[in-house]
Structure 1
């Protein structure tokens, strides 16, 4: 996949391979997060002195990281979605001229807040190794959280490329569905239950492989760092549905770009 060559980006086989690679990143990031306690202060607005910033300590750190990364062109890439797009800084590197791949409104399609909410409310409590505070590791916890969120943001918003590829593969079908505002029909057209089942099966295998000490592979108690079935369940309940929401929201506006 080469973002300078749109035809490679909108190839569904290339998209699937990219999504598989993203699974690796997300699984490893969750394994890293699982070594720490819940640390509720990271998700507080009042524990630390953050100046004029109004939000969670986690959000504050995410903003600092995005501002730094924006200075080296990270968010000029078509496959990156910032959480704080209005507060990025100019890049110190010369701009790149990416060809147009997605519709003009694509930056307006995002589910950032939904991702943050399910991460804080659902993922963190389930992967943390203890539900207590761990003040000496607040910074490390927040750093792990930022990496998890960035990986999830990229993976879920990659649904825009899936949606564009499917639209271009069958524009007649999608024009009819869009004109009729047939949300159910669009959802059915983008859903492949067999592929989704394979994703969940693969996540369990990856969770078992990446989260287990190789020397304990054949032990009766392999001691996975994160329950592999939990990772698959989080994908099933949150990652896949939010990706579909991105695809539907993108497709419903696709005729604006015709």
Structure 2
């Protein structure tokens, strides 16, 4: 997939390979985060006195990272969606003129608030090695959190490319569903239960492979850093449903550009 070559972007095999590669990143990020305590103070609003800022330490850290990344053109890329779109800074590097692939309203499809919510409230408690704070590691925790959140965001918002590819493959069918505002019909058209099961099975295998010391792989107590079943369940309960939400939200507005 090359974003400078539009003909490569909407090919479903290319999209599928990109999504599989993102799984690796997310699994490794979760493993990295699992070495730290749950660190609730990182997520507590206004726990620390940060001048001219209202929010948690993670919110502040993520905002600073996004400001820096915006200056090196991260959010000009069509597959990146910021958590703080109104706070970005102008790029220092010259702009990149990416060919148009997605609909004109694509930047308005943003579920990062939902991602941040399920990450803090559902993922962190399940993968942290222990409950409570370790004051010396609060900064490290926020860095791991940011990496994981950005990876999850990219994976979930990649649903826009899936939706556009499916729309292009069956314009007339989707036009009927969109005009009828048939959300259930759209959901059914984008759902492939067999593929979803394959994803979950693959995640369990990746969790077993990446999260276990190779020397302990075949022992009676392999001591996985993150339970593989937890990773699969997080995908099943949050990542896949939110990706579908992105796809449905994108498709429901798709006729705006046709007009």
TM-score between both structures, scaled by the size of structure 1: 0.99
Deviations 1:123-162 (A, max 9, x none): 0000001011111100000000000000001000000000
Is 2:3 aligned against 1:6? no
In structure 2, how many angstroms separate the alpha carbons of the residues matched to 1:191 and 1:47? 42
How do 1:124-139 and structure 2 match up within 5 A?
Answer: 124-139=124-139
Equivalent pair of 2:212/2:222 in contact (CA under 8 Å): yes
- Quick one: distance in 2 between partners of 1:53 and 1:156? 28
- Aligned length in residues: 258
Gaps of 5+ in 1: none
Looking at structure 2, the residues matched to 26 and 33 of structure 1 have their Cα atoms a distance apart, in angstroms, of 10
Tell whether the 8 Å contact from 2:71 to 2:89 is kept in structure 1 after alignment. yes
Deviation at 1:49, TM superposition (A): 1.7
Q: Secondary structure at the match of 2:233?
A: helix
> Structure 2-normalised TM-score?
0.99
Deviation at 1:227, TM superposition (A): 0.2
Structure 2 match to 1:59:
59
How many Å separate the matches in 2 of 1:44 and 1:5?
44
Shift of 1:47: 2.1
Q: Which runs of 4+ in 1 moved over 4 A?
A: none
8 A Cα contact 2:29 2:148, kept in partner: yes
For 2:217 and 2:126, locate their aligned partners in 1 and report how far apart those are by CA, in whole Å. 23
For structure 2, list consecutive stretches of 5 or more residues without a partner in the other structure: none
Structure 1 CA distance for aligned equivalents of residues 30 and 80 of structure 2: 20
Aligned equivalents of 2:123, 2:146: Cα separation in 1: 13
Q: Calculate the aligned-residue CA RMSD, in Å.
A: 0.5
CA–CA distance in 2 between the matches of 1:176 and 1:43? Answer: 44
Per mean C-alpha deviation after superposition, the further-off stretch among 173-182 and 50-59 is 50-59
Match of 1:151 in 2: 151
